[in-house]
Copies of this chain bind each other. A is one copy, B any other.
Amino acid sequence: MRNNIGKNICLFSLLLLFCLASVSVFAEDGYRLWQRYDLIKDTKTLKNYRSQLSQYVIQGNSPTLTVIRKELQLALPNLLGNPISEAKQLSGKGNLVIGTPQNSALIKELPLTDKLASMGPEGYVILTTPVNRKKMVVIAANTDVGALYGTFHFLKLLQTNQNIDQLGISSAPKIKHRVLNHWDNLDRTVERGYAGFSLWNWHKLPDYIDQRYLDYARANASIGINGTVLTNVNANALLLTPVYLEKVKALADAFRPYGLKVYLTARFSAPIEIGGLKTADPLDPQVKDWWKKKSDEIYTYIPDFGGFLVKANSEGQPGPQNYGRSHADGANMMADAVAAKGGIVMWRAFVYSNEMPEDRIKQAYNEFKPLDGTFRKNVLVQVKNGPLDFQPREPFHPLFGAMPKTPLMMEFQLTQEYLGQATQLVYQAPLYKETLDADTYAQGEGSTVAKVIDGSLHSYELTGMAGVSNIGNDRNWTGHLFGQSNWYCFGRLAWDYTLTSTTIADEWLRMTFTNEAPFVNPVKDIMLDSRETMVNYMTSLGLHHIMGWSHHYGPGPWIKDKPRADWTAVYYHRASTEGIGFDRTAKGSNAIAQYFPPVQQKFGNLATCPEEFLLWFHRVPWDYKVKSGQTLWDELCYRYYGGAEGVKQMQQTWNAQAAYVDPERFQHVKTHLSIQEKEARWWRDACVLYFQSFSKKPIPAGLAKPEQTLEYYMKLDPKFVPGI
């Protein structure tokens, strides 16, 4: 039947269009992410693609090649509306050839040796090249996974309607370990998760491999993510027992063909809890031996096990300091246990002490900087983008650049713990880029954080970037549809941090919604503005950590008198009748001293400190004149009101897009923006009223009066906020 139909391509595609238009049995619930593969609408592009693609040739067999075949079988007939299929041999025209010199004789014959030599194990080339005088598209790599990455790149070209007439693409990742961190608990709750519950159905593992696990791996492979830490950094030692290792093995086996490695979080006290030892002292021979044997055991289940991610001596987690040892002692002990098998340890620098009277944001630097050079070669120290905790805006973490002998891994937070959580549209590429592009001056101007991370500044071999996952079992994966863009941009930036936020938003929108410019352009503006808009209605001018208690939902600048001062809001904003802000100059906590001198000078000087970090580094009187010429108080008000107004503009822009989006997804985003608009007003009114109780100044003329009293907002007590 296929052949008959294939011949009448035009009629077929017309009818396919009808099918796709009228057959709406399938919910447009966002499950397909950016991998939709709907028929290409632009007829000229479609015609051109059809003329260039009539079959694909893949030689050899491997699980990853099977994945490539399946992806093409899914993508090409749907994108092109033609029954394109695999062929054993080249035909006269329209060939797509994919493989490696090792598995494909066709590719081996091509003059690609030089090109591939610099591509490494994951890079690829996509070339339009003549074979026997016939044009064909070649996707070549040194490994099957490289070929898979190339395949997804090529499909993206089609999905985004790019010209494929003369392709000459080569791409290799700038970062070696591109890893999602799932803060998923074994009971399937997700710490700071706002997209339902954990994907991992531990109860049905190892036997039941949910199709969703494979779709998860597919999505990751499509953006180059090559590792996943399955469980919460606040770890449970049970994960390391045979019952759970069997389950982890099943996931690792399912992910392997997609180039996705599994890592585990290791609870430092596991030798006591599940090993029967009396200590977890990292210098104790029995403890070392336990971790070595445990690691060897894990490798019997998962030969390519990636290694451990550890949160130690932070927020109540056990760690080496319980035994008077250093973080390096702990990390090295575990690193030794996995080194022989090629494993790594990602040791988090997010530490702060219960008792320390020191400015919290200084503690990680103070603890880790002296340890530089003492870590094993297979240890990465994983550092959050900023020194506090994933705030809407923070300056870059001063550890970046400060540990020239230690590979530092970036930790971004995709899940929007402090960024509007379940309901707000915040595209985070601008936030990630802001950090990556920040200049540490570690080796003079141009010593960007990105160059620290990619190993080029200090010649690290080992490089990594982690994203704390925003993925859950909601049908659309990320709760808010636009949360998908943060998963997407994390993967893209981990592969190539030089990509712009605009480029990535453009790609994502085209693949997720449509290529039509009247949609893509305005909605891209929504995305690009969204983070700054949020900063304005939450924490402009360098404010930070003023969110609701414990659940972190909504505003809570009044939070005080908690068990720990550095878990309150007043600790950070320090508002009084005189002014507001945390003095971190030499006159204050002197946190600026942790930066290199040019940065110190810029941040430390009220005149040169970027306004977005003003109250992060300085304590400023209410009538201090900011750059706009306004007083600090007025500026703060204008920012809060401007942020809330910005959400209204996002709404208006989106609400004009009904023609371009299916009703279900249109409504989804529309409703979420409407919630966000309410929440932005809530933030605005609560914060302005609260800070006004110190500034004693009127809200500038022309701005609407807050809708409720400060007491009203302070009494709000949201229950059952997800993700705690």
| Chain A interface (Cβ < 8 Å from any Cβ of B) | 1-2, 5, 11-12, 14-20, 22-27, 29, 31-32, 36-38, 74, 77-78, 83, 186-188, 196-197, 202-204, 207-209, 211-212, 215, 238, 243, 422-423, 473-475, 664, 667-668, 671-672, 674-675, 678, 719-722
Beyond the given pairs A16-B23, A26-B32, 14 more chain A to chain B contacts, judged by CB atoms under 8 angstroms and listed by A's residue number, are A1-B14, A2-B18, A5-B15, A5-B18, A12-B15, A16-B19, A18-B83, A22-B77, A25-B74, A27-B215, A29-B211, A187-B720, A203-B722, A208-B671
| In the complex with contacts A207-B674, A671-B209, A74-B24 CB distance below 8 A | yes
A720 engages B203 (CB within 8 Å): yes
B78 engages A23 (CB within 8 Å): yes
B residues within 8 A CB of A20?
19
A721 engages B78 (CB within 8 Å): no
A722-B2 Cα distance, complex, nearest whole Å: 46
User: 21 A-B pairs, CB-CB below 8 angstroms?
Assistant: A2-B22, A5-B15, A5-B18, A18-B83, A19-B20, A19-B23, A25-B32, A25-B36, A25-B74, A26-B32, A27-B31, A27-B211, A31-B475, A187-B720, A188-B720, A197-B473, A204-B423, A207-B671, A208-B423, A208-B668, A473-B473
B residues within 8 A CB of A78?
23, 25
A204 engages B25 (CB within 8 Å): no
B residues within 8 A CB of A17?
1
A211-B24 Cα distance, complex, nearest whole Å: 13
Tell me the minimal C-beta distance from A33 to chain B in angstroms: 12
A203 engages B422 (CB within 8 Å): yes
What 8 A-B pairs have minimum CB-CB distances, sorted nearest first?
A: A19-B19, A26-B26, A15-B15, A207-B675, A186-B720, A208-B671, A197-B197, A187-B720
B residues within 8 A CB of A27?
31, 211, 215
Tell me the minimal C-beta distance from A170 to chain B in angstroms: 30
CB-CB nearest in chain B for A238: B719
A204-B424 Cα distance, complex, nearest whole Å: 11
A97-B221 Cα distance, complex, nearest whole Å: 51
A599-B1 Cα distance, complex, nearest whole Å: 64
B residues within 8 A CB of A188?
197, 720, 722
B residues within 8 A CB of A74?
24-25
Tell me the minimal C-beta distance from A644 to chain B in angstroms: 17
B residues within 8 A CB of A196?
196-197, 473
A5-B11 Cα distance, complex, nearest whole Å: 10
B residues within 8 A CB of A720?
186-188, 202-203
B residues within 8 A CB of A25?
32, 36-38, 74, 78
CB-CB nearest in chain B for A4: B14
A675-B207 Cα distance, complex, nearest whole Å: 7
B residues within 8 A CB of A423?
203-204, 208
A421-B59 Cα distance, complex, nearest whole Å: 45
CB-CB nearest in chain B for A671: B208
B residues within 8 A CB of A31?
27, 475
B residues within 8 A CB of A674?
207
Tell me the minimal C-beta distance from A547 to chain B in angstroms: 15
A212 engages B475 (CB within 8 Å): yes
